[in-house]
Amino acid sequence: MVFLLQQTLFFTMPLLVVAIGGLFSEKAGIVNIALEGIMVFGAFTGILFLYLFRDSLSGQNALLMAMMIAAIGGGLLGLMHAYATVSMNANQSISGMSLNILAPAIAVFVAKQVTPSELIPFRQKFFIESVPVLSKIPILGPILFERAYITTYIAIFIFIIALIIINRTKFGLHIKASGEHPQALDAAGVKVKRVRYTSVLLSGALAGLGGVVFFIPTSVEFSANVSGYGFLAIAVLVFSRWNIRNIIFTSFIFGFMQTVATTYSQISLFDNLSFIPAEFYRMLPYVTTILILLLSRGESAAPSAIGKPYDVSKR
Amino acid sequence: MMLRKVIRFVQNEKLVPVYSSMLAIVAGLLVGFVILLLLNPSQSIQAFFTMLFAGLSNGPTSIGNVIYFASPIILTGLSVGFAFRTGLFNIGATGQLLTGGYIALLIGIRTTVFGPFTWLIALICAAITGALWSVIPGLLKMYKGVHEVVTTIMMNYVALFLVNFLVKQTIYNNLKNESLPAPADAVIPKFGLDHIFVNSNVQGGVFIAILMVIIIYVILNKTVFGFELKSVGYNKHASKYAGINVKLRGLQALMISGAIAGTAGAVIYLSDSLTFLKVQNTLPTQGFMGISVALLGLNDPIGIVFSGLFFGYLIVGGQKMQIFGLSPEVIDIITGMIVYFSALAIVFQNAAKRIFRMKAVDE
C-alpha cells in the first residue's frame, strides 16, 4: 500500500507541475498544446546537464541545478510559442504542434551525437533515504519522507506558490483578465502582450521542469518520449475546469491510473486479475481520460478569450 | 508581352500563401543548415547538398523511394487537411492509421476467399475501421464540446496498446516482435511502377493516394455536401441558421478524415517493402507527419500532394545523413521549423508581397 501511494506520488507530481504550467498559459488566453514537447525538451536539457557533469556533480545540488536548467530550456520553447502566438498572432494549435515535432527531434538528434544511443543515462541516485524526524510520522511518514525525491517537495511548493499567484496577487488577476476579457485589461492600462508573454514563459518553464520531475524518480535514462503526459496534463486541466484547487486532486486521480498501468504486476491487489493482458493496463490512463471527459460538463469553464489573438481594435 | 503575362501571373494575390509556404521551407532548410554547420563544420556544406539532392541523385530509384515515402503521408496529410477545412484539428490520424492498418493486415493474412482482390477488401475495411475509430472523439466534440485535440490524442495511445495486443493474438511473428508479412494477394498491385522505378521501394499505394486526393477534391469543391462541411468549419452558427445539421456534419467530417487515415495504414502495411506492424511503445511517425504535410500544403488536396512529395523527398535525403555521422532526425528538426514558420504566416506573406511588389497585408 505504501509502495502504491509512493509510486502514485511519482506519477502525480509531473502531471501537477505541467498542468499548472498549462493553467498559466490558458488562463492568459493562449492554448498550449506544446506541453508534451516542452516536457521532453526540459527533461532533455536537464538530464543532458547531469550526463555531462556526471563526474563532478552529484546529489541534491546536481538535481536542483538540473531542474533549473530544465526550466530555462522549457522557458526557451515557451518564448518561441509566445513569440508566434502573442507577437505574430499565429494559430496557437499549429505553433504548439510545431514545437511538439521540433523538441523530440532536437533531443534525439543531440543525444545521438553525445551518447552511443539515443538515450541519455543518469546513474546518480537522487532519492533521500529518510528525512529525519518527519519520517517517523505514522502513515504519512513512510509515504512522503522515506525514499523520497526532492522533486516531490518542489512540486508541492510550486503548487502553493501558483495558488497564491493566481488567487491572491494583482498579477494573477491580470492573467485571468487577459484570458477572459483582454480588452478590459488593456483599457485598465495593463499591457496585454506583456502579461501573455510572462504567462507563456512561465508555462514553458514549468512544463520543462515537469519533464525532469517525470524522469528522475521513474527511470534511469532520458528518452525523447513522455508517453502523452503533456497531453494528459491538458486533460487534467479540462477536467479541473481550469480551477487550480481542483488540479491537485485531478492530477492524483490521473497519477494513480498511470501507477496502475505501469506497476500492476508488483501490486498484490491485482494478482487475481492476472488474466487481464498487460496492454489493457497500459491503456487504462487514456481510456479513463476519455471516460472522464465523457462524464464532465465539457469546455464551458474555459477562459472565454482562449485561442483568440488579442485585437486592440476590438476594445 | 510574354514577360508581362508571367509577371501578372506571378503577382496574383491568390498565390501569396504558396509563396509564404515556399519561404517557410527555405527558412526551415536554413535552420537545418545552421545545425549541420554547428555539429560538423568541415562537411556541413557537402552534407547539406547531399541531403538536398538525394531524392534525385540515383535517378528513377531515388524518385521511386520518394514516392514510396510520400504516399502514406499524402494520405495522412489529406486526412488532417480535410479535417482542418471543416474546422477540426484531427491529431488522431496516428490511431486511425494503426487500427486501419491492423485490420488491413488481419484480412490480408487471415482470409483467402477473396483471392486476388484481397488487398481491395482489406483496404476498404481499413477505411471503415479508421472512420469508426474517430466516432468517439467526434461524438464527444459534437455533443459534449470536448476539444478533439485531447480526445484524438488519447485515442492514439488506446489504439497503440490495443493494436499491440491484437497483433500478438492474431498475426504475430514472435521472433521479430512484429506482425507477419502481407501475402502476395494482399499487397496493393503496382501496375508496372516497379519496372519504371527499378530497385526502389515504390508501392501501389501511390495510386490509392492519388485516388483519394481526387475524391476529396471533388467532395470539397463540387458537391453540396462538401460545401456544407466547409461552411460548418467557417461559421457554425451561420450554418445552423442556414439549416445545416451542424453536429451531424461535424461527425461525418471527422469520420471521413478517419477513413482517409485508415487507408494510409493499409497503404503502409499492405506492401512488400518489409514494413511490418511493430509491437512497440511509441507511435508510428506518419500520423504526426500528416499535420506538417497538411499545413505546408495549405490544407488543399492539390497542395498536399506537393507538400507530401516534398517531405518524402526530405526523408530520402535524411537517410543519407548517416554517411556524415549525422542522424536522420535533422529532417524532423527541419520539419518542425517549417511548420513553426508556416504558423508565422503573416510575416512570410508580407515578405512574399514585398518580394513580388504587392501591397502588404495588414496585421
Predicted confidence band of residue B361 (pLDDT cuts 50, 70, 90): very low
A220 inside domain:
yes
List b or e across A109-126, with b for residues whose CB sees 16 or more CB atoms inside 10 angstroms. Answer: bbbbeeeeebbbebebeb
Q: Specify if A141 maps to a domain.
A: no
Task: Point out the residue among A33, A98, A108 whose CB comes nearest to the CB of B339.
Answer: A98
Kindly list the residues from chain B whose CB atom is less than 8 angstroms away from the CB atom of residue A296.
144, 146
pLDDT confidence band for B215 (50 / 70 / 90):
very high
Within 8 A of A112 by CB-CB distance, chain B residues are: 327, 329
For the cut 90, the answer to whether the pLDDT of residue B327 exceeds it is no
Least CB–CB distance from A294: residue in B140, B281, B282 = B140
Contact A293 B151 (CB under 8 A): yes
pLDDT reported for residue B177? 87
Do the Cβ atoms of B329 and A113 come within 8 Å? no
Residue A202 belongs to domain spanning: 2-129+149-314
Task: Indicate the helix (H) or strand (E) that contains A314.
Answer: none
Tell me which of B52 and A142 has the higher pLDDT. B52
User: Can you spell out the DSSP letters for B308-344?
Assistant: HHHHHHHHHHHHGGGGGT--TTHHHHHHHHHHHHHHT
Contact B316, B54 (CB under 8 A): yes
Cell of A31: 492554448
* Cβ contact, residue pair A294, B144, below 8 Å: yes
- Which residue is closest to B28 within chain A, CA to CA? A102
Q: How far is A78 from chain B (nearest CA, A)?
A: 13
How large is the average pLDDT for residues B325-335? 86
Model confidence band, residue A304 (pLDDT cutoffs 50, 70, 90)? confident
Report yes or no for ipTM above 0.95: no
- Is A234 in the B-facing interface, judged by CB distances under 8 Å? yes
Residue A272's pLDDT is 67
A86 touches B at CB < 8 Å:
no
User: B-chain residues within 8 Å CB-CB of A108?
Assistant: 327, 329, 332
| Other CB atoms within 10 Å distance of the CB of residue A234 | 24
A283 in contact with B, Cβ within 8 Å: yes
| A233–chain B nearest CA distance, Å | 10
Angle at A150 (CA atoms; ends A148, A152), nearest 5 degrees: 75
Do A240 and A246 meet the contact criterion of CB atoms below 8 Å apart? yes
Query: What is the pLDDT, as a whole number, of residue B108?
Result: 93
The three cell numbers of residue B98 are 494503426
**What per-residue confidence (pLDDT) applies to A42?**
96
CATH number at residue A159: 1.10.3470
Task: Flag whether A142 is in a domain.
Answer: no
Tell me how many domains chain A contains.
1
- DSSP secondary structure code for residue A122 in this structure: -
Looking at the domain assignment, is residue A191 inside a domain?
yes
Answer yes or no: do A109 and B339 touch at CB < 8 A.
no
Distance from CA of B267 to the nearest CA of A (A): 23
User: How far is the CA of B43 from the CAs of A112, B27, B29, B36, in angstroms?
Assistant: 18, 21, 16, 8
Assigned domain for A134 exists: no
Residue A280 lies in a domain: yes
Strands A120-121 and A221-222: antiparallel
The answer to whether residue B363 scores a pLDDT higher than 70 is no
pLDDT at residue A271, as a whole number: 65
Distance in angstroms (rounded) separating the CA atoms of residues B255 and B130: 8
- Partner-chain contact B335 A238, CB within 8 Å: no
Choose from A219-233, B34-48, B153-167 the range with maximum mean pLDDT. B153-167
Q: Which residues contact B340 (CB under 8 A, 6 or more apart)?
A: A80, A84, A95, A98, A99, A102
A219 touches chain B (CB under 8 A): no
Amino acid in position A123:
R
DSSP, residue by residue, B52-67 = HHHHHHTTHHHHHHHH
Task: Return the SS3 of B98.
Answer: helix
User: Is A144 inside any structural domain?
Assistant: no
The whole-chain average pLDDT of chain B stands at: 89
Question: What's the CA gap between B37 and B330, in Å, rounded?
Answer: 12
> How many whole angstroms separate alpha carbon B110 and alpha carbon A110?
43
pLDDT at A310 over 90: no
A310 in a structural domain: yes
Q: Report pLDDT digits (tens) over B253-309.
A: 999 999 999 999 999 999 988 788 888 888 888 998 999 999 999 899 999 999 999
Q: Do B165 and A90 touch (CB under 8 A)?
A: no
- Check CB contact under 8 Å for B335 and A105: yes
**Which three cell numbers, joined as nine digits, stand for B126?**
481499413
Specify the range with the lowest mean pLDDT, choosing from A22-36, A187-201, B148-162, B349-363.
Answer: B349-363
